[in-house]
Amino acid sequence: AWASPAPRSVKAVSKLADGCDSFSRDSAEVTEALRTIIHYLEGGNASASEKAEFNRANYTRVLQVLVSSLSSDWFHSLPAQERRELWDGFFLRGPPDQALLVLLDTISSTSDGSGLDWTVSVLESFLSAGRVGMLLWSRCLETNGRPDSVQLRETILTRLSSLPDLTANRLRTNTPARLLPQQYYTDLARDVLNTLENTCRALRGENDCSLGFVAQLLGKVCMQGHGELVCRTLAPRLSSLTRSDALWRRVSCKLLENVPDRWVESVITALIHHLHGASALSRVMGNLVLKNKKVQFVLTHKVLLLQYQHPLLRTVLGYLALDHDRRPLLKQVLRSVCQVWSNSSAVRHTSLDQQLYVSKALLLCVNLLNQTEIQELQLLQCMLGGVQCRLDSSTEHVRRMGMVVGECLSQKLDTPTSQLQFQYEANEESRELLSLMEPQSEEEDEDEQQQQPDDAPSDDELTPYDMSADQVKQKATPPRYVRDCLEALMSSDDPERVELSLQTAEELLRKNVSTAREVSVQFSKVLLHLEDRYSTAGFHTLRQSAMVALAVIHTQPVVEYLTTEFYSLNYSLRQRLDILEVLALAAQELSEPITEKKAVSQPVARAVTLEQCGEVEHWRQVVEKRIQSKTRRISKGASQPPKAAPNRYAPVAAYFFFPLLRNYDRPQVTFDLLGSDHLVLGQLVHTLGLLMHLAVNAPVHTLTHTLRHTHQCFPYH
């Protein structure tokens, strides 16, 4: 039972309450009553039992009386020192939860004026004096909860978590900086840290504490969207304190365990964003993922498969891999990610960012698990199926992603002799994916700057050797005849000779038209099957230019050969795409008029020295400007119309167009246009449209009808 308060306390409170309506004429009695009651506040000389009973029964009543005096003559006549002692002191030396509720209610209900300004000032003093921290600590000491604690707890939680919103609704643009979210929630995070520190100190003294209220407050604040402001202060400090103190790890884990399930996702997500490294997350969270099903769902499913927050990925998966008891969850994650990775429908209908995120998750899981654990899951075929789905995509971005992931999986799971290797153009994204397979240290990396000594020897002052006139000596000479070029491409094993032959092939073919027509089909066959064995610079461009030249010089036989080979067996998709590109470029060149280059006769100029070149150039420019300025043009005469030339593409348009439609709907063993090889189908339709467009000035009317009929056969491809 609570001890009875002293009779003078009851009398003083009664006198204060009775004088509520007559502050102006009973100011002396009110001041005397307040000086009597002040002994029951913190720092007063009343006994602990008397203070406790006063706080329970009369403290809120006294605060309400003081608030009602804001407009009285007694309040305005008080000197500043007495006002801080007799009015402010009651809010700063009593139970902080009751004082906070009265202050916020007063701000919400008071009209503009000096009374509102003074109440806001007291609330600022309340926050700066650390009274919120005392409120949190007082709740931690209530291990056996009071009868009214449930309702009061919910009210205090709401006011603490929404204090900036409550004050801003009333004060609007006049809200002080300390009451704004940026400052308030940062201070609240410090109060939470101080409360946790007091908890550790109490546990070392073998005293019981409860973190339920603090955990609920943290969850409610994060749920309202302020987790960024709180955790950017809270998370780094927890990471540092738990590094070498087991008790801090226990307190941190207990705090997160007490967060209600409906708010735990917001807390966990905000913490992970501000914890650097999986080891820090493991110290702060412990094995919470094994104890709380909601946390397990968030970390193993929602963060990985329903969202794509790239910074969280490495931390979350590393956290699951650090502890032996959590590694089964990592295997479960790998199985789920593999199912998404191998889903061909997901490849077609999800965004590129989401696919990149799933690719990163897959590579990180494979990197964190050892080969034995991966083989136990029997997911190799599933992984490779996802690679195949991406290689079949018509989007270059997705294909490159599949190539990179395929190489990484093969490097991890296959033997060195059977690893996959693709040819793709590396970019920032591919380099990032490859970096995920590199081993990561468990501790956070610290940047160490190593400075070179100032007196280190340097070769900056040495005179460089002039190598501007150096020429590379070539062992082989470029071919001068078409047949020599063809022979070199067919049978030579000399990389330099093959490169020179490929570089001069187009020029030789266009200069020697008669010889090129004799070997056009054979030359086209050699170029079509030619492989880049020596990593020749610009190989694909040089080969394509030579094939286009052959198709332009000897159109009908070469085009018939290429269109026939397009549907033949044992050709790669790359070769079939090359055929379509060559046909399109050749048709475009044939449809353009031939431009004749006229040789302009130049007057014979006298030889000048090198020093005179600049002077002569300048002299000529001056004379030309003078002539142009003094020239009068009366009439230019009739302009000469361009000479008409026959359309070279019109007679052969059918050889380009119709053979490509010959077998598009007949699947073969290695080539199925309407099935898995839809990448080539898209290029084929594009090429057919281009061929029809280039024949716009040709009397070929059946191309449009045929192409329209063909489109009706694959409306959903």
Mind listing the pLDDT tens digit for each residue in 53-68?
Answer: 888 888 998 898 889 8
In this predicted model, which residue has the larger pLDDT, 289 or 494? 289
The least confident of 41-50, 410-419, 482-491, 495-504 is 410-419
In which band, very low, low, confident or very high, does the pLDDT at 186 lie, cut at 50, 70 and 90?
A: very high
- DSSP-assigned states of every residue in 94-124: S-HHHHHHHHHHHHHHPPSSHHHHHHHHHHH
The predicted model gives 68-86 an average pLDDT of: 82
The predicted model gives 607-617 an average pLDDT of: 45
The predicted model gives 111-127 an average pLDDT of: 93
- Count other Cβ atoms within 10 Å, centred on residue 120: 22
Q: 277: closest CA among 318, 236, 230?
A: 318
Cα dihedral 177, 180, 186, 192, rounded to 10, equals: 110
The separation between the first and the last C-alpha atoms of the chain, rounded to the nearest angstrom, is 82
Q: 69: closest CA among 112, 106, 123, 121?
A: 106
Q: 535: closest CA among 507, 576, 509, 502?
A: 502
Q: 590: closest CA among 690, 516, 670?
A: 690
- For the chain, the domains span 1-129, 156-286, 327-441
- Count other Cβ atoms within 10 Å, centred on residue 400: 21
CA distance 521 to 553: 11
In this predicted model, which residue has the larger pLDDT, 645 or 478? 478
The predicted model gives 571-589 an average pLDDT of: 92
The least confident of 74-78, 279-283, 572-576 is 74-78
The reported pLDDT for the residue numbered 234 is: 96
CA 132 → CA 90, 230, 405, distances in Å? 15, 15, 52
- Count other Cβ atoms within 10 Å, centred on residue 150: 10
Query: Residue 551 pLDDT > 60, yes or no?
Result: yes
In this predicted model, which residue has the larger pLDDT, 617 or 513? 513
Question: One-letter amino acid identity for 81?
Answer: Q
Task: For Cα atoms 137, 140, 141, give the angle at the middle one, nearest 5 degrees.
Answer: 95
Query: Residue 445 pLDDT > 50, yes or no?
Result: no
Q: Which own/partner contact pairs does 150-154 have at CB distance under 8 Å and 24+ positions apart?
A: 152/97, 153/213, 153/216
CA distance 423 to 426: 9
Query: Residue 630 pLDDT > 90, yes or no?
Result: no
The reported pLDDT for the residue numbered 21 is: 47
Query: Residue 88 pLDDT > 50, yes or no?
Result: yes
The reported pLDDT for the residue numbered 525 is: 95
In which band, very low, low, confident or very high, does the pLDDT at 284 lie, cut at 50, 70 and 90?
A: very high
Orientation angle between helical segments 327-341 and 352-368, nearest 10 degrees = 140
Residues 6+ apart with CB under 8 A from 27: 73, 74, 77
Cα dihedral 256, 257, 262, 263, rounded to 10, equals: -10
The reported pLDDT for the residue numbered 6 is: 47
Q: Which helix (H) or strand (E) holds 490?
A: helix 482-491
User: Over the stretch 236-246, which tens digit does the pLDDT of each residue have?
Assistant: 999 999 999 99
The least confident of 217-231, 413-427, 446-460 is 446-460
CA distance 595 to 598: 9
The predicted model gives 263-279 an average pLDDT of: 93
Half-sphere exposure of 152 (CA within 13 A, CB side): 16
The predicted model gives 243-253 an average pLDDT of: 95
Q: Output the six-digit token pair for 506.
A: 């187009």
Orientation angle between helical segments 59-68 and 48-57, nearest 10 degrees = 60
Query: Residue 1 pLDDT > 90, yes or no?
Result: no
- CB 133 within 8 Å of CB 191: yes
- Count other Cβ atoms within 10 Å, centred on residue 351: 9
The mean pLDDT of the chain is 83
The listed range with the strongest mean pLDDT (344-348, 633-637, 661-665) is 344-348
The reported pLDDT for the residue numbered 465 is: 63
The predicted model gives 173-184 an average pLDDT of: 95
The predicted model gives 489-514 an average pLDDT of: 91
Report residue 98 CA to chain centroid gap.
46
The reported pLDDT for the residue numbered 666 is: 78
Report residue 272 CA to chain centroid gap.
15
The reported pLDDT for the residue numbered 296 is: 95
What is the b/e burial string over 669-684, where b = at least 16 CB atoms within 10 angstroms of the residue's CB?
eebebeeebbbbbebb
In which band, very low, low, confident or very high, does the pLDDT at 599 lie, cut at 50, 70 and 90?
A: very low
CA distance 121 to 129: 12
In which band, very low, low, confident or very high, does the pLDDT at 261 lie, cut at 50, 70 and 90?
A: very high
Query: Residue 606 pLDDT > 50, yes or no?
Result: no
Three-state DSSP string of 290-356: HHCHHHHHHHHHHHHHHCCCHHHHHHHHHHHHHCCCCHHHHHHHHHHHHHHHCCHHHHHHCCHHHHH
CA distance 298 to 285: 14
- CB 2 within 8 Å of CB 53: yes
Report residue 16 CA to chain centroid gap.
63
pTM, whole model, 2 decimals? Answer: 0.68
Q: Output the six-digit token pair for 680.
A: 């080539």
Orientation angle between helical segments 246-257 and 181-204, nearest 10 degrees = 120
In which band, very low, low, confident or very high, does the pLDDT at 91 lie, cut at 50, 70 and 90?
A: very high
User: Over the stretch 351-384, which tens digit does the pLDDT of each residue have?
Assistant: 888 899 999 999 999 999 988 888 888 888 898 8
The reported pLDDT for the residue numbered 26 is: 59
- The three-state secondary structure class of 686 is helix
CA distance 252 to 197: 10
- CB 526 within 8 Å of CB 486: yes
Half-sphere exposure of 20 (CA within 13 A, CB side): 12
Q: Which helix (H) or strand (E) holds 645?
A: none
User: Over the stretch 467-488, which tens digit does the pLDDT of each residue have?
Assistant: 655 555 556 788 999 999 999 9
Q: 160: closest CA among 124, 188, 193, 141?
A: 188
In which band, very low, low, confident or very high, does the pLDDT at 4 lie, cut at 50, 70 and 90?
A: very low
